[in-house]
Structure 1
Amino acid sequence: MAAYQAFTIATDIPVHLCNPASPWQRGSNENTNGLLRQYFSKGTGLSVHTRKHLDAAAAELNSRPRKALGWETPAERLSELLAA
């Protein structure tokens, strides 16, 4: 995120930088980490998983409705953004 200011200018999307060691400031990130733990054990490198397993986990997570997205899925939200 070293270029967050350039990203904000290019996309008109503000970026919030959290303080180090403050997980309560990163609610969506911490929630996603918890969801990932359903597929991958903590401390396990992703290199031990097959591409098929990684793709399947990504597909399931991207088709799961999220409260932060108004109960849309990440895939639905991305499709809307790309169509705009």
Structure 2
Amino acid sequence: MHVNKAHAVFTVARVVKDLGEDEDWLWDVANGMDTEDGVIGVYGTGDDQVMAFTDFGIENLTELIRIHKDDPELLKRWDR
């Protein structure tokens, strides 16, 4: 039987506050992450969806932030 090992998730707004980053920019950086990377979509009423991260996801996101700050052109390459 599969057991979910995530005991909590943190919304993108919480991660933005904790990491001191811009939410729109962080959303763009995290957009390529998958559930295996520690990100999930949390659905509210209607069609509202919020990105949320496990502890593992925050670790992965922190590494992506470092990579994107080292090479700011990465996101511009995907805007095409």
TM-score higher than 0.5 here? Answer: no
Q: Whose relative contact order is higher, 1 or 2, with alpha carbons under 8 Å and at least 6 apart?
A: 2
**Would you tell me which structure has more strand in proportion to its own residues?**
2
With the length of structure 2 as denominator, give the TM-score of the two structures.
0.27
With the length of structure 1 as denominator, give the TM-score of the two structures.
0.26
